[in-house]
Structures are given as structure tokens and as C-alpha cells.
């Protein structure tokens, strides 16, 4: 079923506030194979001039998973999760964030494009991450939605 671009653009994501926990940062850094101790050892972070453990660059994506129902927006737009592929992801960084910071995530769907006569739709979702109103990072996620009932 085609995605209605107007409905997608109008979908309202509630802003999300998440306080970054030191233990979670250390766990994430180890899980992704980070070997720089500034990401999991407070003494090393402080010795390197950081006030606390810094947030690893791709950690922001995991914060979006804090929503009570992270796929509710897909349901609201009539997107069958079984037909969704992760297309790409990008980050733009403005300032570092650290353990103890409360980050605010503001998300919206910014584009829906149809390809191959509607057999594929590309949905772009953007998230702004701020701390005390100051920009920290912008996240962009591109999802590919397959529509096998459409033949190009």
C-alpha cells in the first residue's frame, strides 16, 4: 500500500528526553568494540580532558529506541514492518555530549519518495539532538519499504 506523503509529513513524534547513563555508555562502547578507554573508563576520560564519559558517535541512534513504542509511527503510516529495510544512516555532529547530560530528541519524517513505479518507497526520518537547547547532533535515517504487490 503506498505511503501517503502528507500523512507522513504530518505525523507527530512526541519529543523524547533521555538522561545518558555512564554504565550504558560503557556497555555500548564495549559492545561495539571501542578500544579507546575514554569511552568506558572515567579516569581515562577525565585524564583526556573530558568532564565525564563522552557519548560515542553512533550512540545517539540507540537513544531513539527509548520510545515506548518505537515502531508506532510505522503503524500509523500503514507501513508493514516485515517489508522495511534499513537503507542508510548519517550523523552530523555539533558538540560533544557526556554521561549525565539530558538530551532532547525531536523527530520528524522529512521525505517520502517512490521508486520503481511504487515497488519501493524511501522514507527519510530526521532527528535533532539537543542539550539545554544547544544542538548536539542531527540524525538521518532512510528506510526502504518494499511493496511486492506492485510490479514495475
Note whether 71 and 120 are same-domain residues: yes
What DSSP designation does 58 have? T
Note whether 48 and 59 are same-domain residues: no
Note whether 137 and 79 are same-domain residues: yes
Note whether 82 and 118 are same-domain residues: yes
How high is the pLDDT of residue 68?
Answer: 85
Q: Is residue 68 part of a domain?
A: yes
pLDDT higher than 80, residue 134: yes
How high is the pLDDT of residue 10?
Answer: 93
Q: Is residue 151 part of a domain?
A: no
Residue pair 116/84 in contact (Cβ under 8 Å)? The answer is no
Kindly state the cell numbers that stand for 26.
560503557
Note whether 37 and 72 are same-domain residues: no
Note whether 74 and 37 are same-domain residues: no
Residue pair 86/143 in contact (Cβ under 8 Å)? The answer is yes
Note whether 97 and 142 are same-domain residues: yes
Spell out the SS3 assignment of 105-141.
Answer: EEEEEEEEEEEHHHCEEEEEEEEEEEECCEEEEEEEE
For residue 48, what are the domain limits? 21-54
Which CATH number does the domain housing residue 127 bear? 3.10.129.10
Q: Which of 139, 142, 83, 80 is nearest to 112 (CA)?
A: 142
Note whether 32 and 99 are same-domain residues: no
Note whether 44 and 69 are same-domain residues: no
How high is the pLDDT of residue 152?
Answer: 61
Q: What is the pLDDT of residues 50-92, one digit of tens each?
A: 999 999 988 998 898 888 888 889 999 999 999 999 999 999 9
Note whether 82 and 100 are same-domain residues: yes
pTM of this prediction? 0.89
Domains in the chain: how many in total?
2
Q: Is residue 152 part of a domain?
A: no
Mean pLDDT of 110-121: 90
Query: How many angstroms separate the Cα of 66 from the Cα of each of 49, 71, 90, 147?
Result: 29, 11, 19, 28
Note whether 28 and 10 are same-domain residues: no
Q: Which one is predicted more confidently, 117 or 55?
A: 55
How high is the pLDDT of residue 150?
Answer: 79
Note whether 81 and 96 are same-domain residues: yes
Q: What is the pLDDT of residues 17-49, one digit of tens each?
A: 999 999 999 999 989 999 999 999 999 999 999
Residue pair 61/90 in contact (Cβ under 8 Å)? The answer is no
Amino acid at each position: 500500500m503506498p505511503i501517503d506523503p502528507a500523512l507522513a509529513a504530518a505525523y507527530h513524534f512526541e519529543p523524547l528526553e533521555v538522561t545518558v547513563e555512564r554504565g550504558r555508555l560503557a556497555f555500548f562502547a564495549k559492545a561495539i568494540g571501542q578500544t579507546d578507554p575514554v569511552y568506558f573508563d572515567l579516569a581515562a576520560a577525565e585524564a583526556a580532558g573530558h568532564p565525564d564519559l563522552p557519548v560515542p558517535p553512533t550512540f545517539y541512534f540507540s537513544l531513539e529506541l527509548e520510545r515506548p513504542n518505537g515502531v508506532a509511527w510505522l503503524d500509523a503510516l500503514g507501513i508493514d514492518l516485515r517489508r522495511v529495510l534499513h537503507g542508510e544512516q548519517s550523523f552530523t555532529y555539533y558538540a560533544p555530549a557526556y554521561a549525565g547530560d539530558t538530551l532532547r530528541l525531536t523527530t520528524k519524517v522529512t521525505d517520502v519518495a517512490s521508486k520503481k513505479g511504487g515497488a519501493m518507497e524511501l522514507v527519510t526520518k530526521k532527528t535533532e539532538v539537543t542539550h539545554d537547547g544547544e544542538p548536539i547532533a542531527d540524525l538521518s535515517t532512510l528506510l526502504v519499504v518494499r511493496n511486492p504487490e506492485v510490479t514495475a
